[in-house]
Chains A and B, each alone.
Chain A
Amino acid sequence: MNAFWLATIGTSLIAFALKYTGHNVPEKFFAHPKVQSVNALIPIALLSALVAVQVFTEKSKLMIDHRLAGLAVATIALFLKLPFPVVVISSAVTSAAIYNWL
């Protein structure tokens, strides 16, 4: 089994196990404010790290290229409160234009 299959199946199994466990533990178990706080912060940390790594790295090297322009446009779109598809598409179009013509 290659890494992609392993990742597909492993992620799916654990994702369901986490959801199902939640439905089977008493509510007071997670009532602690620190648990709530950590729960809110983990997605922020992981997603921000993913954005940075996807834009500024190639293999294990740091790199600045056409993707920076895509990120800049996405950031502006989010500041302007534009809908999600506009954010993604405007970012892709900018990035593709620079990649193809510069």
Chain B
Amino acid sequence: MSRIESTTFRDSLSVSFTVGAYGTAFGAAAVANGFSVLQACLLSLLTFSGASQFAVVGVLGAGGSALSGIATASLLGVRNGLYGVIMAPRLKVKGFKRIVAAQVTIDESTAVALGQEVRGESAMRQGFWLTGFGVFFFWNLFTVAGALGAQAMGDIRAWGLDSAVPAAFLGLVWPRLKTNRDRLLAVVCAVFALAMTPVLPAGLPIIATAFIAIAVGLRK
């Protein structure tokens, strides 16, 4: 491997630590929604995709079935597949390395890699691996801390955890709201999910909003 660019290193490390620290919120959310500490840690190790992980614990916590939880999380995981499509020709790895690359293909590793484009393909690869492994390390470390912390709390409402979880979701969606169409979609989906909650089984009102997104995306 060629020398690591210091800018690439700095970008990767700062993203890794900041994003990894959100793992605390995930660990706490998982336990607050009825998952065990072990299950929270396994989700961070194996699923390793923040939005999907928050979604599955959110759906089950709201009383949804395992199937609704898996479906919602998987719809959110589709974008990681798209990142894989973008990264594969640049990483050029096969076999076991490709399996490892796939596991650390997330928003952050892809974003940092693409951010290094001006510094060349080698810097892009370094950014991808450093950020992928960095987030993986800190995300799992902080998940344990959050899960154990929440387990020690007892009544999660007395600690505000029932608001911390939706606040974390809002923090995840906020940077994605770039245009008025995005904002309108967000409001419509929120209202739709609430309107359907008394009617549909838990979890389905959330999944159903994916179809609104597909309809909007395919229009024109």
Contacts and interface: CB of A to CB of B under 8 A. Distances in A.
Question: Are A and B interaction partners?
Answer: yes
Interface of A: 3-12, 14-16, 18-27, 29-30, 34-57, 59-62, 66-67, 69-71, 73-75, 78, 83-85, 87-89, 91-97, 99-100
Q: Which of B48, B87, B160, B161 has the most CB of A within 10 A?
A: B160
B169 A47 contact: yes
23 contacts: A3-B69, A4-B36, A8-B35, A11-B52, A18-B77, A21-B84, A23-B85, A26-B85, A37-B217, A41-B185, A45-B185, A46-B189, A48-B185, A53-B193, A53-B205, A54-B166, A61-B197, A71-B166, A74-B167, A83-B18, A85-B21, A95-B163, A99-B157
B78 A42 contact: yes
A96 B182 CA distance: 31
Nearest to B175: A78
A100 B58 contact: no
Contacts of B80: 15, 18-19, 22
Given A62-B197, A84-B22, A42 B214 contact: yes
B213 A88 contact: no
A36 B206 CA distance: 21
A26 B88 CA distance: 9
Contact of A88 (B25, B43, B82): B25
A9 B22 CA distance: 22
- SS of A interface (majority): helix
A46 to B, nearest CB: 6
Given A8-B35, A37-B217, A16 B160 contact: no
Contacts of A14: 70, 73-74, 77
Contacts of A26: 85
A27 B92 CA distance: 13
B131 interface: no
Nearest to B83: A22
A6 B190 CA distance: 27
Contacts of A56: 194
Interface of chain B: mostly helix, strand, loop or mixed = helix
B54 A52 contact: no
Given A18-B77, A57-B197, A61-B198, A42 B213 contact: yes
Contacts of A5: 39
Contacts of A46: 51, 55, 72, 75-76, 189, 206-207, 209-210, 213
A89 B164 contact: yes
